[in-house]
Amino acid sequence: MAEQAVVVAPPPPPPPPLSYRERLAQFRILEERRHELIEELLDKLEKTEAKLIQTELDLQSEQNVRRTLQAEVVEANERNNALARRPFVLVLIDADAEGFLFQDKYITRRMQGGEALADELLIRLREYLRPLYEDADTLDIVVRVYANLEGMANYLVREGKVRNLGQLRACSTGFCGRISSFDWVDVGIGKEGGSGRKVRENLSFYASNTHLRHIILACSPADLPSALLSTLPLSKTTLIESLPLPSAITGLPLKTTKFLTLFTPPPPPKSPKTRGRNTPQLQLSQQEDPDGGATWLVIRPERSKSQGAALRRRGGGGRDAGSEDEDSSLSISIGPDNTVSVDNGRRRRIMH
């Protein structure tokens, strides 16, 4: 059997060579793709760089917040440690309470009087605390004086000690500015017992403070109810005594003291009048002005019947005795045009 011959197909003819324009078109397509790739890479790079910058900013912000928190924690620890090393004494004064009005030499000298009051109070407090505590000279002393300045000023004006509210405010300003831990607080005109209420609120707030070494109170015993006293460390409490304290207070295990150089002593109790010995009194009456018919206010001393009878006996009981009685009297008249007439029965003086 004869072998069959394998016919091999001839290879395809090579493609015709590209023209220069076709080759240029191919290069242009490749160049455009290369530019697209570069643009894509650049876009991703810019987005990545923006995210990196934002991440750095966030990281820096977090670092700042963390450092601030760390600084606050360190400061709080230092402050707590400082408080632990600096115990304090609390002094509360109700200047509206009876017996706790500061002496005239302080409240009448404006700002200088307030500064002198602060100095004197600090000296007396240190003197009192030294026998109680070895570190008395290093203790912080916090003083709060509460008063209705307007009401106090009105009283002092009536007593002739100050001319107006400004003088008293100047005194309180000098007191506050002299020592940083001393404050004079104006409670204003509000509820009755405003100063006493402030004292009670401060006691309730500070009583449980672990850094409180001692409490010194100048207030009315009425502002210290038993419910409040039961919450105080009585062994570390001192009452400044002005008026005699009730037995309910003196029977408690607390200390008392007196600051005689600071507060005006209370007036002595009024003694009952003794019969048969009437003291001269001032009589307020009205009379008509004979010239114009206007009303005048007359202040005239008044004698008792026994004094008048004695004068009449010495004068013989006649008309002359009555004249002598009238002559020894004194009347002061204030007219509607602010003229003042002083008449002792024998001579009359008119002042304008």
CATH code, 86-257:
3.40.50
pTM listed for this prediction: 0.53
Which amino acid is it at 43? D
Joined tokens for residue 272? 């009952």
- SS3 state of residue 111: helix
Q: Which element (helix H / strand E) includes 185?
A: strand 182-186
Question: What is the pLDDT tens value at each position of the chain, 352 positions in all?
Answer: 555 667 777 888 887 887 888 888 888 888 888 888 898 899 999 999 999 999 999 998 888 888 888 888 888 877 766 655 678 888 898 888 878 888 888 888 888 888 888 888 898 999 898 898 888 888 888 888 888 888 888 888 888 887 888 888 888 888 888 888 888 888 887 655 688 888 888 888 888 788 888 888 888 887 877 778 777 888 888 888 887 778 777 778 888 888 888 888 766 655 555 444 454 444 444 444 444 444 444 444 544 444 444 444 444 444 444 444 444 455 565 555 555 666 655 545 555 5
Query: Among positive and negative, which fits the CA dihedral 307, 313, 318, 319?
Result: negative
Cα separation, 143 vs 240, in Å, equals 14
In the chain, where are the structural domains located? 86-257, 281-351
Q: pLDDT at position 52, please?
A: 92
Query: How far is residue 112's CA from residue 110's CA, in Å, rounded to a whole number?
Result: 6
DSSP 259: -
Gap between the Cα atoms of 126 and 133, Å rounded = 10
Q: Which residue has the tokens 């003197």?
A: 127
- Residue 265 has what pLDDT? 76
How many Å from the N-terminal Cα to the C-terminal Cα in the chain? 175
> How far is the C-alpha of 45 from the C-alpha of 41, rounded, in Å?
6
Cβ neighbours around 21 below 10 Å, total: 8
